[in-house]
Chain A
Amino acid sequence: MQTLNRKLIRELRHTRGQSLAIAAVVASGVAVFVMALGTLGTLRSSRDAYYERYRFADVFASLRRAPTAILPRIATLPGVARVQTRIVSDVTLDVPELDEPAVGRLISLPEVGEPVLNAVYLRRGRLPEPGRASEVLASEAFVEANTLDVGDTLQAVMNGRLQELRIVGVAISPEYIFQLRGGDLLPDDRRFGVFWVSQRQMEAAFDMEGAFNDVSLRLAGGARSEPVIEALDRLLKPYGSIGAIDREDHVSARFVADEIKQLRATAVVAPSIFLGVATFLLNVVLSRQIGTQREIIATLKAFGYSDAAVAWHYLKSAILVALFGAVLGAAGGLYLGRGLARLYAEFYHFPSLISRIDWRIVLAGVSLSVLAAVAGSYRAIYQVMRLMPAEAMRPAAPARYRQSWLERLGLTPWIPLTARMVLRGLQRRPLNSLLSSLGISAAVAVLLVGNFAPDALDYLLEFQFERAQRHDVQVAFYEVASPSAAYDLRHLPGVQTAETFRAVPVKLRFRHRSYRTSIMGLGQRRDLYRLLDVDGRAIPLPPAGLVLSDKLAELLAVREGETVTVEVLEGEEPVREVVVSGLAVEYAGTTAYMDRQALHRLMGEADTLNGAFLAVDPGQLETLYRELKETPQIASVAVKSATVEQFRETVAKNQLTMQSFMVFFAAVIAIGVVYNTARISLEERSRELATMRVIGFTRSEVSAILLGELAVLTSLAIPLGWAIGYGLCYAMVRGFETEMFRIPLVIHPESFAFAALVTVLAAAASGFWIHRQIGQLDLVAVLKSSE
């Protein structure tokens, strides 16, 4: 056995180019596997520990105002373990160094002790001292985005009064791992921050003595959330609650859960591609090796080595290559995983990252690679087992060729001889050719998937924020306002147009399905907030019916022309039947739209509004912002362009890293497949290529045959890879789609071209390598052997 091992090592060294190419593909697969699963483990255990230690609630409800006297009734609802009531309010902030107004979410902190639920983790500084007005804790994300720190102050418009907020501490909370306002599409840490203020100060500022407007529950062990939510909704409805949600629907919790879901998908999809390619490569390389070693195999068997011993000898070489790749990949995966976890820690603001190496994941990754090696060797090993010693001593039967199907179509005279050699060579082993093409197409697909996210995001931002929503600023009032408010808005500095809206919370019902959302009542003459159909054409609002966002229609399973029941959750709470008269394409949110006058009629109310979309003269933005910051009636100001800009920047930065990874991985696959295919082809055909060289063909003419074969395989692989990549993108779109957020399946033509180009370049590099090896063919030696 010792000698056989020596043979093994020498042969591996001899074919190191091929072995390394395969090992690199295995390494990529194992690296992604270990990285994704490792990060997933870190993220999940960090999150779970965070939720547990800081008592993240299970059920959340916000309401208009309820007396603290009802607290015992909430606490005694069946299934409720703990209750935390708070005062929560969004206010307009004036942040130093920030022109536009920001939004601050103020959350009350108990005067004494820690909150029962949704505790905060103090990063630095101290808690606000009871009795000292204006002291706040600020969220870390906001503080970092605005380069603020303990000791800095901000101005806030609280309940119509301008007040100073002094940052005494910086904190994070499990409630705001991902800091996003409900209904917002994009996170913007600069313009949205969370602040914790003492209970007494909140009561004073918002006239909420002995009252609360936010409640969180911790469920008793084993209790389900649905019945609790139902009971809570019944209890809180008179106090202006529009319905409680559980953790699954909590914005921040859902974002983190989605991220974990994505990592899990990555951990399955990417390694499958890489290990699949590696399996195929081992299959062809080992089959070829066994083809050339028939005599050696026969000799070994003749000397008394058992079938199993000989088979194990060859299997070992495949396993060694895979193991080598797996060890490299595992090390790389652990390294990348640590980097990724650090990135997450920075992005999500965890108190601490629970990051330890999970050897089970490493072991699983290595085992998978060994499994791929065994699967890849199966065919070759089977051949070894079956080979009789005497049979192996005879040379293999000569290769049988046929005319290719192109020639049988009668095209022969137009196909040059070398092209015929290429076509017949490919057709002699259709399965191998197909697999080679499939292998290369994996590279194309990986590249396409890598480019898909920015393309889709680009399209989404353009569609949503340039073609549909064309306003610069959206303002919302604290209270329902009279039409005169619109007049005031129009006369603010720089405001060119103001289009007002009326938003009403509703529950829509269709057959057995229902969905809670809001109806936006919009004016008939609109230019700033448009509803678009699939082709990007503006949809006019009908005089009476509803226009639903396409996702909302899907959730309700309702089609155009059908009638839904509208249960208004505000004012007189009327219930009405309304026809769905149109569907609007939207990639975020699940809003219903209606003509504003029709909405007023439905509500039985006079002309009122909740806010407006503004188009602003860019030169006067600063003046406008200053004015808005000090307007007490305004609850929030959303500055669209700044938010979109910031988001684009963040994405662009991440994208570059992502893209270089994808290009690297794709190149590993493309080079791995093309180089191995070409090497095998070169070995199998060295005799005929040398013959051609001997009878006077130049190196280039001979190379053309091998390179032609690669060119055909690569050109087949490109459309195939496009199709596979498109399919993967489709799967991603479906997989990542949530009620709040959809990704359009849009891939730019440039991305298709880029995927093809990188693959062709990688293939060309391998081709050049092969071309050089043809120059080193030993003409004389090849002709002397009888194959």
Chain B
Amino acid sequence: MSRAPASPPSDVHARQVVFRVRGATKVYPMGEVEVQALRGIDLDLYAGEFTVLLGPSGSGKSTLLNILGGLDQPTGGSVFYRELELSGASNRQLTQFRRHAVGFVFQFYNLIPSLTAWENVSLVTEVASDPMSPLEALRLVGLEDRRDHFPAQLSGGQQQRVAIARAIAKRPDVLLCDEPTGALDALTGITVLEAIQRINTELGTTTAVITHNAAIGEMSDRVVTIRDGRVAEDRRVAVKTPVAELRW
């Protein structure tokens, strides 16, 4: 078990570090007992990289993602997003960080049911500093013809793709996806992963996907396995499998 973060591959050696995590711990008080969700994580994520954080449920991977996304703060250790120390940031700073730097994709889509696809995307572009047009975002996920549909009129896969469009429309520095295919069947899941990969390659957005589905790791640059709140394995993917060929 290596406590040191995996070094970047030689061809991306010059790339900047986007997230720098050192000795991060997280303890949740759960009533009378304490749950140790993270037991000391060291991890660097590099610009433009597509990383899959793999682990069974309860491993701490979601906690890590929440901390990276500015939704939560570690109990100990330090977490940096570029120069911003997330582990010591104020509520207001975290809100601004989420507003401008992060795109989120959730397992259950979390679209606003009272807004159409186009409006769900606009919700983000209206407060972002350098967004793409909502239509362009929808085109990236192949849903420009569904722009006026309300969430209730879209299938699960379509809703998730709108959620991806919403996440990337502000041209975020990082895209964080929490079990994006967790609520979908395999075939639909593939279309969603294709959309995520397209964003990563075409826009160069640093992307982290957490999943318990090991197959998904094969389409990424790097697979970090989390177990019991620690990094159990950190490996580069030598030969990436095309998304369409993934099976689970």
Chain A interface residues toward B at CB < 8 A? 397-402, 417, 420-421, 424-425, 428, 687-688, 691-698, 701, 779-780, 783-787
Interface contact A696-B127, CB-CB below 8 Å: yes
Tally of contacts, chain A with chain B, CB under 8 A = 84
Contact partners of A402 in chain B: CB under 8 A: 150
Contact partners of B2 in chain A: CB under 8 A: none
Interface contact B66-A697, CB-CB below 8 Å: no
Instruction: Apart from A694-B110, A696-B102, A786-B108, list 11 A-B contacts with CB within 8 A.
Output: A399-B114, A417-B123, A420-B115, A424-B115, A688-B112, A688-B113, A692-B123, A695-B124, A696-B99, A696-B127, A783-B106
Interface contact A779-B71, CB-CB below 8 Å: yes
Name the contact of B71 in the complex, choosing from A399, A698, A780, A785 (C-beta under 8 A).
A780
Contact partners of B167 in chain A: CB under 8 A: 695
The contact string, 1 if C-beta is below 8 Å from chain A, for chain B 133-167, is 00000000000000000111000000000000011
Q: Is B104 an interface position by the 8 A CB rule?
A: yes
Q: Is B126 an interface position by the 8 A CB rule?
A: yes
Name the contact of A694 in the complex, choosing from B62, B98, B111, B112 (C-beta under 8 A).
B98
Given the known interface contacts A420-B115, A688-B110, A695-B99, the answer about A399 and B152 at a Cβ–Cβ threshold of 8 Å is yes
Name the contact of A417 in the complex, choosing from B98, B110, B119 (C-beta under 8 A).
B119
24 A-B pairs with C-beta separation under 8 A: A397-B152, A398-B151, A399-B113, A402-B150, A417-B115, A417-B122, A417-B123, A421-B114, A425-B114, A428-B114, A687-B110, A688-B112, A688-B114, A694-B104, A694-B110, A695-B98, A696-B98, A696-B99, A697-B99, A701-B127, A780-B71, A783-B106, A786-B183, A787-B108
Contact partners of A420 in chain B: CB under 8 A: 114-115, 119
B window 57-72: CB within 8 A of A: 62, 66, 69, 71-72
Interface contact B96-A696, CB-CB below 8 Å: yes
- Which 5 A-B residue pairs are closest in the complex by CB-CB distance? A696-B99, A696-B98, A424-B114, A691-B110, A401-B114
Q: Is B236 an interface position by the 8 A CB rule?
A: no
Contact partners of B66 in chain A: CB under 8 A: 780
Interface contact A421-B151, CB-CB below 8 Å: no
Interface contact B72-A695, CB-CB below 8 Å: no
Contact partners of A397 in chain B: CB under 8 A: 152
Q: Is B212 an interface position by the 8 A CB rule?
A: no
CA distance A692 to B99 in the complex (A): 10
- Give the one of A398, A696, A701, A779 with max B CB within 10 A: A696
Interface contact A692-B95, CB-CB below 8 Å: no
CA distance A783 to B176 in the complex (A): 14
CA distance A693 to B66 in the complex (A): 13
The contact string, 1 if C-beta is below 8 Å from chain A, for chain B 29-73, is 000000000000000000000000000000000100010010110
Contact partners of A783 in chain B: CB under 8 A: 106, 108, 110, 178
Q: Is B100 an interface position by the 8 A CB rule?
A: yes
Name the contact of A398 in the complex, choosing from B71, B107, B113 (C-beta under 8 A).
B113
Name the contact of A697 in the complex, choosing from B92, B114, B127, B151 (C-beta under 8 A).
B127
Please give the distance in Å from B120's CB to the nearest CB on chain A: 9
- A687, closest chain B residue (CB): B110
Please give the distance in Å from A667's CB to the nearest CB on chain B: 31
CA distance A421 to B122 in the complex (A): 13
CA distance A685 to B96 in the complex (A): 23
Contact partners of B122 in chain A: CB under 8 A: 417
Contact partners of A698 in chain B: CB under 8 A: 92, 95
Please give the distance in Å from A418's CB to the nearest CB on chain B: 8
CA distance A428 to B96 in the complex (A): 32
CA distance A693 to B71 in the complex (A): 9
CA distance A695 to B166 in the complex (A): 9
Contact partners of A787 in chain B: CB under 8 A: 108
Interface contact B95-A401, CB-CB below 8 Å: no
Contact partners of A428 in chain B: CB under 8 A: 114
Please give the distance in Å from B96's CB to the nearest CB on chain A: 7
B window 65-119: CB within 8 A of A: 66, 69, 71-72, 92, 95-100, 102, 104, 106-108, 110-115, 119
CA distance A697 to B100 in the complex (A): 10
Contact partners of B99 in chain A: CB under 8 A: 695-697
Please give the distance in Å from A701's CB to the nearest CB on chain B: 8
- A785, closest chain B residue (CB): B108
CA distance A785 to B92 in the complex (A): 25
Interface contact B72-A780, CB-CB below 8 Å: yes
Please give the distance in Å from A699's CB to the nearest CB on chain B: 8
Q: Please tell me the size bucket of the interface on B.
A: 35 or more
CA distance A105 to B153 in the complex (A): 85
CA distance A439 to B69 in the complex (A): 42
Please give the distance in Å from B179's CB to the nearest CB on chain A: 10
CA distance A695 to B151 in the complex (A): 18
CA distance A490 to B66 in the complex (A): 96
Please give the distance in Å from B98's CB to the nearest CB on chain A: 4
CA distance A421 to B72 in the complex (A): 27
Interface contact B112-A692, CB-CB below 8 Å: yes
Contact partners of B97 in chain A: CB under 8 A: 696
Contact partners of A687 in chain B: CB under 8 A: 110
CA distance A456 to B114 in the complex (A): 47
CA distance A687 to B151 in the complex (A): 14
Please give the distance in Å from B99's CB to the nearest CB on chain A: 3
Contact partners of A701 in chain B: CB under 8 A: 127
Name the contact of B104 in the complex, choosing from A399, A695, A697 (C-beta under 8 A).
A695
Please give the distance in Å from A400's CB to the nearest CB on chain B: 5
CA distance A695 to B111 in the complex (A): 11
Given the known interface contacts A398-B152, A691-B112, the answer about A417 and B126 at a Cβ–Cβ threshold of 8 Å is yes
Please give the distance in Å from A23's CB to the nearest CB on chain B: 30
Please give the distance in Å from B157's CB to the nearest CB on chain A: 15
CA distance A402 to B116 in the complex (A): 9
CA distance A779 to B71 in the complex (A): 7
CA distance A342 to B100 in the complex (A): 68
Interface contact A400-B98, CB-CB below 8 Å: no
Please give the distance in Å from B115's CB to the nearest CB on chain A: 6
CA distance A513 to B194 in the complex (A): 93
CA distance A428 to B122 in the complex (A): 21
CA distance A780 to B63 in the complex (A): 9
Contact partners of A424 in chain B: CB under 8 A: 114-115
Contact partners of B112 in chain A: CB under 8 A: 421, 688, 691-692
Contact partners of A780 in chain B: CB under 8 A: 66, 71-72
Name the contact of B113 in the complex, choosing from A401, A417, A695 (C-beta under 8 A).
A401
- B63, closest chain A residue (CB): A780
Please give the distance in Å from A103's CB to the nearest CB on chain B: 72
Interface contact A401-B127, CB-CB below 8 Å: no
Contact partners of B62 in chain A: CB under 8 A: 784
Interface contact B152-A401, CB-CB below 8 Å: yes
Given the known interface contacts A417-B122, A421-B114, the answer about A400 and B152 at a Cβ–Cβ threshold of 8 Å is yes
CA distance A698 to B248 in the complex (A): 39
CA distance A783 to B166 in the complex (A): 16
- A418, closest chain B residue (CB): B123
Please give the distance in Å from B84's CB to the nearest CB on chain A: 14
Contact partners of B102 in chain A: CB under 8 A: 696
Contact partners of A785 in chain B: CB under 8 A: 108
CA distance A691 to B99 in the complex (A): 12
- Give the one of B104, B113, B122 with max A CB within 10 A: B113
Interface contact B115-A421, CB-CB below 8 Å: yes
CA distance A420 to B113 in the complex (A): 12
Interface contact B100-A696, CB-CB below 8 Å: yes
The contact string, 1 if C-beta is below 8 Å from chain A, for chain B 166-183, is 110000000000100001
Contact partners of B69 in chain A: CB under 8 A: 694
Contact partners of B106 in chain A: CB under 8 A: 691, 783
Contact partners of B111 in chain A: CB under 8 A: 691
- A689, closest chain B residue (CB): B112
CA distance A783 to B62 in the complex (A): 11
CA distance A420 to B107 in the complex (A): 26
Contact partners of B119 in chain A: CB under 8 A: 417, 420
CA distance A558 to B122 in the complex (A): 70
